[in-house]
Amino acid sequence: SSLHKPTNTSITLLLMSTLKISDGVVKDEVLVLGLASTNSKGGIAIEAGDMAIDTKTILSQLVDMGATGKADEVTKLPGSHVRLLVFTGLGKKSANYTHETLRRAAGSASRALAGNSAATFSLPAKNLAEVAAVAEGAALGAYSFTEFRGSTKDDHKAPLKTITVHSKLAASSEAKAAVVRAAVIAKYTYLVRDLINTPPSHLTPDSFTKKLAAVVKSAGGAKSGLKIQIWDEKQLKTQGFGGIIGVGQGSANPPRLLHISYTPKGKAAKRYAFVGKGITFDTGGLALKPAAGMEAMKSDMSGAAAVSAAVIAIAELKLNVAIESWAPLAENMPSDTATRPSDIITIFGGKTVEVLNPDAEGRLVLADGLMKAQSSKNKLDGIIDVATLTGAQVIALGTRTSAVMTNNQEFSNDFLQVAAQCGEQFWPMPLPEELRASLDSPVADLANIGDRMGGMLVAGLFLKDFVNPELPWLHLDIAGPAYNEAKPHGYTPVGGTGIALRSLVTLA
């Protein structure tokens, strides 16, 4: 499909111009194959999938190059039939590589191929689900963010434009559907990453809504079952969104609430609400964060980006589920108009909160979002919030594993299974009742901070106060995994990762 350029915005959905499956002769100049390690003494084996390869001379060249076949190792050799042979590490040789192993190996290779225009991937994928994993990984690895480069733009090699997955299953209609799905997943993951990487100078609550409105339009708008609604600061104030107003009132860039809904053509099998934290920059407000590392807080709208992109992706895939996404958007700034510690705000629906720490702002905008999402007349089957909510999440689970908290074990188990299937690492965390008392306030219905120990769980317990106990609910804390400040790996670049998008779409 074509390059998307929504009108009047600066967001570009960079989609590889082609993603396809073929069982024919390799026409590209670049061929990507797998490489596995066979023993601890440096033994290696080429894993070429459905491609017949004369491996003898190549193997000795790979040994000379020091290739070991470990994950994230990419070795390039000049080819004879093709210009370049690229070997991507699969780790230990196996009869059954996991989807995630294939996804990451394909992603590492496509990252390493920036500057080339087209490549054919032939990895050990035996069935369609494995072929789909290769396609998805290759597409997700072909990402770059150069929008704000000026004089150094040309120093950066463009990502792969055409990705072909070689498989003897190419002829089936299911193969075509798998490629369409991989392309949609990649396109909307790119959107999430672009939004996260865009700095607060260029991404405000208002411009976030405008960019998404343009994407909804380019995805077909009402024709595709998509509807969009935006609340400005005046409407938020008169309609009682005290959380969003309280967090946003210190900033010159006023807050917004963005609602995107998708209604399928037939009768929807289920209806879910997604609510994403949309802090376009989190300075901590009057509880100002230290300067070191504050720049990463441009990623504090990752939840809002994930839920907004997910609902559009779900519409583009024409899935038979109704989705209502909500993105409460605000910039958390310190100023003479900012919320002060001890201020009391009223969340949508009437509960009051004593703001003891204006840096615990995510839960305030989410409380408004959760309450509004549950006030709609349509009966929900489940509600999921997604947020870069706590530093405690990163302390507990590290930078690559997100947390799931819930009021419904079955919903959580289903989600965890789906997340594992699409290669997103999530882990269940409890909501211990005894921690709730630490959120009691002497003057309001509750306070916005409680015990420091178990801070991720305390934040989850705060949100639980704003969810109907009968409604299955998941709280996803993606604070660490949303933004990669370390090295790129597999299909994951530096910066915005796009985490949660795939799980939400796959769940739907």
What is the contact surface with ligand BES in residues (CB under 6 A)? 282, 300, 357, 359-362, 388-392, 394, 449, 455, 479
Q: Do residues 32 and 120 make contact, with C-beta atoms less than 8 angstroms apart? A: yes
Closest CA to 69 of 40, 53, 92: 92
How many degrees, rounded to 5, is the angle at CA 276 between CA 268 and CA 201?
135
Q: Which two tokens stand for residue 355?
A: 């703001």
Of the chain, the end-to-end C-alpha distance in Å amounts to: 23
CA–CA separation, 211 and 195 (whole Å):
9
User: What's the closest the beta carbon of residue 282 comes to Zn ion, in angstroms?
Assistant: 4
User: What's the closest the beta carbon of residue 97 comes to ligand BES, in angstroms?
Assistant: 32
CA–CA separation, 188 and 500 (whole Å):
11
Please report, as ranges, the residues that interact with Zn ion according to CB under 5 A.
279, 282, 300, 362
Q: Which of 47, 73, 282, 385 binds Mn ion (CB under 5 A)?
A: 282
CA–CA separation, 471 and 379 (whole Å):
10
By Cβ distance, which residue is nearest to Mn ion? Answer: 359
Beta strands, E only, 74-207: 74-78, 84-92, 118-122, 162-166
Q: Nearer Cβ to Mn ion, position 294 or 321?
A: 294
Closest CA to 462 of 385, 410, 402: 385
363: annotated active-site residue? yes
User: What's the closest the beta carbon of residue 418 comes to ligand BES, in angstroms?
Assistant: 24
Q: Nearer Cβ to Mn ion, position 4 or 289?
A: 289
Q: Nearer Cβ to Zn ion, position 282 or 324?
A: 282
- Rounded to the nearest 10 degrees, how much is the dihedral formed by the CA atoms of 263, 474, 445, 458? -150
Q: Which two tokens stand for residue 168?
A: 């003897």
User: What's the closest the beta carbon of residue 191 comes to Zn ion, in angstroms?
Assistant: 21
By Cβ distance, which residue is nearest to ligand BES? Answer: 391
User: What's the closest the beta carbon of residue 278 comes to Mn ion, in angstroms?
Assistant: 13
User: What's the closest the beta carbon of residue 463 comes to Zn ion, in angstroms?
Assistant: 14
Sketch the per residue contact string, 302 through 341, with Mn ion: x for CB under 5 A, - otherwise.
Answer: ----------------------------------------
376-407 in b/e form (b: 16+ CB < 10 A) is eeeebebbbbbbbbbebbbebbeeebbbbbbb
Q: Do residues 420 and 428 make contact, with C-beta atoms less than 8 angstroms apart? A: no
User: What's the closest the beta carbon of residue 20 comes to ligand BES, in angstroms?
Assistant: 38
Q: Nearer Cβ to ligand BES, position 366 or 508?
A: 366
Q: Nearer Cβ to ligand BES, position 105 or 449?
A: 449
User: Taking CB within 5 to 8 Å according to partner kind, which of Zn ion, Mn ion, ligand BES, none is near residue 47?
Assistant: none
| Residue pointed to by tokens 């463009």 | 158
CA–CA separation, 75 and 63 (whole Å):
11
477 makes contact with Mn ion (CB under 5 A): no
User: What's the closest the beta carbon of residue 387 comes to Mn ion, in angstroms?
Assistant: 11
Q: Which two tokens stand for residue 143?
A: 């990402």
Q: Nearer Cβ to Mn ion, position 361 or 477?
A: 361
With CB under 5 A as the rule, give the number of residues binding Mn ion.
3
- % helix / strand / coil in the chain, to the nearest 5? 35, 20, 45
Q: Nearer Cβ to ligand BES, position 82 or 288?
A: 288
88 contacts: CB under 8 Å, gap ≥ 6: 32, 33, 34, 35, 73, 74, 105, 106, 108, 109, 112, 123
Map residue 331 onto helix, strand or coil.
strand
Q: Nearer Cβ to Zn ion, position 37 or 283?
A: 283
User: What's the closest the beta carbon of residue 270 comes to Mn ion, in angstroms?
Assistant: 33
Closest CA to 423 of 73, 134, 19, 37: 134
Q: Nearer Cβ to Mn ion, position 136 or 361?
A: 361
Q: Do residues 9 and 214 make contact, with C-beta atoms less than 8 angstroms apart? A: yes
Sketch the per residue contact string, 345 through 384, with Mn ion: x for CB under 5 A, - otherwise.
Answer: --------------x-x-----------------------
Q: Do residues 445 and 420 make contact, with C-beta atoms less than 8 angstroms apart? A: no
User: Taking CB within 5 to 8 Å according to partner kind, which of ligand BES, Mn ion, Zn ion, none is near residue 391?
Assistant: ligand BES
Of the listed 76, 126, 289, 351, which one is catalytic? 289
Question: Which residues on neighbouring strands pair with residue 330, listed in sequence order?
Answer: 279
User: Taking CB within 5 to 8 Å according to partner kind, which of Zn ion, ligand BES, Mn ion, none is near residue 392?
Assistant: ligand BES
Of the listed 103, 363, 372, 464, which one is catalytic? 363
By Cβ distance, which residue is nearest to Zn ion? Answer: 282
User: Taking CB within 5 to 8 Å according to partner kind, which of Zn ion, ligand BES, Mn ion, none is near residue 455?
Assistant: ligand BES
Point out which residues bind Mn ion (CB under 5 A).
Answer: 282, 359, 361
Active-site amino acid positions: 289, 363
